[in-house]
Structure 1
Amino acid sequence: MTTRKLSHSPRPIASEGDNPNLIVDISLIIPVAAILDGRHIRRLPKEVVAPLMRYSPRIPASDWAAIRVFVLDAVGAASEGTTLDTNRALKIAAHFVQWAVNLQGLPQEPGAVFNRRVIDNYCESLTLEEGSRASYRSVLVALADRVAPADNPEPMQPIRRRTIKDPYTAEEANGFRSWANGQRTVERTRKAKLLLAGAAGAGLWPGELGELFPEDVTASESGVTVAIRGRCPREVAVRAEWEEMFLEAVSGCEPGKPMWGPERTTREPKNLVSDFTSRSDGTAPKASRLRGTWLVQLLDERVHISVVFKASGFKQFNNLHNYLPYLTLPSVQDARSQLRGGERS
């Protein structure tokens, strides 16, 4: 780590009678990066340190051994005098530093790793929803502010959580059928089909896919419907072009058990999909963009807005304006006819 040096000697200590506001040593107000060599983690209470020391992330053991002290001490330094959730911070920081040091080749120096450019680049690389990425970034920023304040003098721009990622076109969404069918195992293929048909065909949120049971699906001559549980209970009809794939995903599932299957690599339902796609074969689609495709198709087909609102599970449709650029615009004559309330002749 580079040590900051002054170009002049510190001013002498003020004597009695001198200006009490006199700065004794200008170096005292220059924020410097923490030395992350294990000294900070040792200052924490034993009951806090014990679970941190036992933590082992899901990365190669040799990679973790190379960065372990650096990561633990960063969390320790950021925890001093704060209410930081150390367990959560450690889990996030471990994977961040693994990416920055072992994969990107950055030196184990607080200012090199914990700065806004690196944090932003890392968060952009995550296959998570906007809210999750914003949450991860807030934790990393809290660490950066404590261990490398001089390298983060300005506040970071917040992630605009109401922006959307570009929806796939209908052709792009259909192109992922080969991805779903090309997984190496039967179970992965079934999950890929459930993700693709559930998000592009019924607009399911990632977390809702993990809460589906076989008995929630009804197939009849009038189509396939899904009863969705969770925070936004509703019933949605699957789009006709995705019905067959959706039923293929349901086929063979045991009643009373989640369709996503017994394999759960994360406790957070919303992370089930991103965890699966990160380990899948080939280039996986993003669930949020598939859901966007579904929404654009409904709006383009002029499905009644109240139907769209209910089927999408929205309580507030604050992002509606963000989808407008992706809709097919009517001709000038059609627009005039629609505004007049009549049909084009």
Structure 2
Amino acid sequence: MRDFTLACILDAKPHDMLYTRILLTFASRYVVWAFHDAGAELRRDDLFYPSMIYRFARTYPSAKTQQLAETRLLNLAEALGYEPSPHRLNKQSREIRPFSHAELPAFESWAASRSTDRARRDSYGLLALAGGAGLGATEIAAVRGRDLTRTPAGWVVRVTGKAPRSIPIRVGWDSYADIAFEGLGDDDYAVIPHRKESSREIALMHYGARYDGPAIRRLRITWIVDQINVLPLASIVYAAGFKNVSSLLRYAPLAKVMPEVELHALLRSTGATQ
């Protein structure tokens, strides 16, 4: 179990020695608990998924430690490439945790209170790209000044990589982009430009946890949940950078059913002109 845990920590590439020690403390106890108490096998896909992590976090008596364990282990799972599998879909309502609208204003205060201009710009940029456009850590790490366009209607992000697309930063989050990207050169990275290219993605995955801010993963989840009741399926798949519609299954428990009168009216009208 020790070798297994160490291998997981090393593959996650923590950003510094202190964070490595903290992560190792939680991960070591978690692996022992999952193997002996939860009956999991020593396989990453059988250990590092959110519902199991939530159960483990509740073994701590302190609410603060529960939250810390949960955050650190969820970041580890994301760094190790966790993807939900179909047989766990019945657990997805617990695993998908968007931020509530009541929580969102605190993020602006968090970004504004960072101690340096660079830290404030990075924090606002993270909010704009993850919360305002639904980008993941890998995609944010690749965004440069040339990928950002300020139009009369607002900001637009050109996403490169495995799922190239063009996404607007939504209203309410675009003011963060104004602060973060002012004066950004075409070749400059939009967020944490001082980081080496090889470590930028990992640093972004852990950014919220390290600086007591929101995690990119939950900001992206919040953005997706806000879209599922507005956009057609194919459009959500494109906008979120998914490969196919099956990726939306995990969000199904959070979708809203419209009132019956509206639903009947819409169903009667679809295809009427064909």
Using the size of structure 2 for normalisation, the TM-score is 0.68
Structure 1 residues 303-312 or 200-209, which shifts more? 303-312
Q: Letter of the aligned partner of 1:207 in structure 2? A: T
Q: Counterpart of 1:227?
A: 158
Equivalent of residue 128 in structure 1, options 72, 75, 79: 75
Q: Counterpart of 1:330?
A: 258
1:196-251 deviation per Cα after TM superposition (whole angstroms, max 9, x unaligned): 11111111111111111111111121322111112211111111221121121111
1:117-145 deviation per Cα after TM superposition (whole angstroms, max 9, x unaligned): 4986587433527443567xxxxxxxxxx
* SS in structure 2 of the partner of residue 207 of structure 1: helix
Structure 1 runs of 4+ with >6 Å offset = 84-87, 89-92, 94-97
Q: Letter of the aligned partner of 1:299 in structure 2? A: I
How far 1:100 moved relative to its partner?
8.2
Distance 1:90 1:307 in 2: 32
Distance 2:23 2:140 in 1: 32
Q: Counterpart of 2:130?
A: 199
How far 1:172 moved relative to its partner?
2.5
Distance 1:244 1:86 in 2: 38
Distance 1:330 1:87 in 2: 45
Q: 1:298 to 1:85 in 2, by over 3 A?
A: closer
Q: 1:266 to 1:215 in 2, by over 3 A?
A: closer
8 A contact 2:206–2:215 mirrored in 1: no
Q: 1:174 to 1:257 in 2, by over 3 A?
A: same
Greater Rg over alpha carbons, structure: 1
More helix by share: 2
Gaps of 5+ in 1: 1-32, 34-73, 79-83, 105-109, 136-158
How far 1:314 moved relative to its partner?
0.9
8 A contact 2:126–2:191 mirrored in 1: no
Distance 1:128 1:172 in 2: 20
How far 1:312 moved relative to its partner?
1.2
Equivalent of residue 228 in structure 2, options 282, 286, 299: 299
Q: Counterpart of 1:115?
A: 32
Q: 1:294 to 1:97 in 2, by over 3 A?
A: closer
> C-alpha root-mean-square deviation of aligned residues, in Å?
3.9
Equivalent of residue 249 in structure 2, options 295, 316, 321: 321
8 A contact 1:202–1:236 mirrored in 2: yes
* SS in structure 2 of the partner of residue 126 of structure 1: helix
How far 1:171 moved relative to its partner?
3.8
Q: 1:309 to 1:273 in 2, by over 3 A?
A: same
Q: Name the structure, 1 or 2, with higher relative contact order (CA <8 Å, separation 6+).
A: 2
Distance 2:146 2:12 in 1: 39
Distance 1:287 1:322 in 2: 18
Q: Letter of the aligned partner of 2:238 in structure 1? A: K
Distance 1:306 1:285 in 2: 28
Q: Counterpart of 1:272?
A: 203
Q: Letter of the aligned partner of 1:132 in structure 2? A: A
Number of positions where the alignment pairs a residue of Structure 1 with one of Structure 2: 230
* SS in structure 2 of the partner of residue 314 of structure 1: coil
Using the size of structure 1 for normalisation, the TM-score is 0.55
Q: Counterpart of 2:117?
A: 186
8 A contact 1:265–1:275 mirrored in 2: no
* SS in structure 2 of the partner of residue 166 of structure 1: coil
Q: Letter of the aligned partner of 1:126 in structure 2? A: L
Identity among equivalent positions (%) equals 23
Q: 1:172 to 1:317 in 2, by over 3 A?
A: farther
